[in-house]
């Protein structure tokens, strides 16, 4: 888990040193991509989110409004904002079936479809949470971040982060149980 200050590399990035910028991309882009895919469930959207996150980071550096510290938290915040905008603008589309059939060829077709439906329902449930709730539980349970780092990312106290987790999981439990009722 990277939560140490990144002042040195950020100083170089602010001078647009190519090596520093490349290092930042190489270090953080895989995580940003994973984070985006888990929330969006689509490789093209995840790629677009990753690309736009780093583009906005550069623009912020140019405007001198970029981060002075906690680079990872900053980048995830940009990605999160992008995803929030996406959720606001439209309901996440259903993934084509063949995406999952391709990725898990060894599984039984029926099980593949069930798993895919569950994942899709879970993403739709996540989309119904507030942006902060969504980000907190994604960072906590999918990205395995500590509460302190999540608190830095959200600019909130650790207690507020825990409260958000609690409320988010409660909300998810309610939404998912409705899905189960429908599926039965």
Partner 1 sequence: MTKSDGELDEYGKRLLVSLQSVPPIDPQVAAAVKSKYLLQAENLRKELIPESGEVNTQQDHHRLRALRGKQPSFLFRVLVATILVVLFLAGSSFTVNAAQSSLPGQPLYTLKSWSEDIRLSITFSTKAKLNLTLDYTNRRVDEISRLVASGKAINEQTSERFQSELENALQLAAKLNDPQMQNALGKIKGRAESQGMTISELITKLPPQAEPAIIHLQERLDEQIMLSTIGEKDPKSFRAEIHERQHTRKGPKNMPTSEESQAAPESLSTTPSPEQEDNGKNYPTEVPGHGGSGNGQGQSTPGNGNPKPKPTDTQTP
Residues at the interface with partner 1 (CB under 8 A): 16, 18, 21-22, 25-26, 29-30, 33-34, 37-38, 43-48, 50-52, 54-56, 58-62, 65, 67, 74, 77-78, 81-82, 84-86, 88-90, 103, 115, 118-119, 122-123, 137-138, 140-142, 162, 165-166, 169, 172-173, 176
**Other beta carbons within 10 Å of 41:** 22
125-133-179 Cα angle (round to 5)? 15
Nearest distance, CB of residue 60 and partner 1, angstroms: 5
Is the Cα dihedral 117, 119, 124, 125 positive or negative?
A: positive
Within a 13 Å sphere around the CA of 95, how many CA atoms are in the beta-carbon half? 28
And the tokens for 37? 């895919």
Query: Considering the complex, what minimum distance in angstroms separates the CB of residue 84 from partner 1?
Result: 6
Question: Shortest gap between Cβ of 107 and partner 1 (angstroms)?
Answer: 12
Of 3 and 119, which has the nearer Cβ to partner 1? 119
């Amino acid at each position: 888990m990277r939560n140490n200050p990144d002042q040195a590399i950020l100083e170089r990035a602010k001078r647009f040193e190519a090596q520093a910028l490349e290092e930042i991309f190489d270090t953080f882009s895989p995580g940003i991509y994973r984070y985006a895919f888990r929330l969006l469930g689509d490789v093209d959207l995840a790629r677009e989110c990753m690309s736009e996150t780093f583009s906005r980071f550069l623009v912020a550096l140019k405007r001198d409004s970029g981060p002075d510290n906690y680079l990872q938290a900053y980048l995830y915040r940009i990605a999160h904002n992008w995803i929030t905008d996406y959720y606001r603008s439209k309901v996440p589309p259903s993934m084509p079936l063949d995406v999952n059939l391709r990725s898990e060829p060894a599984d039984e077709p029926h099980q593949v479809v069930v798993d895919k439906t569950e994942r899709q329902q879970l993403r739709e449930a996540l989309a119904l949470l507030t942006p902060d709730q969504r980000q907190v539980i994604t960072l906590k349970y999918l990205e395995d971040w500590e509460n302190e780092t999540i608190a830095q990312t959200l600019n909130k106290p650790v207690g507020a982060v825990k409260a958000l987790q609690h409320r988010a999981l409660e909300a998810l439990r309610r939404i998912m149980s409705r899905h189960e009722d429908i599926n039965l």
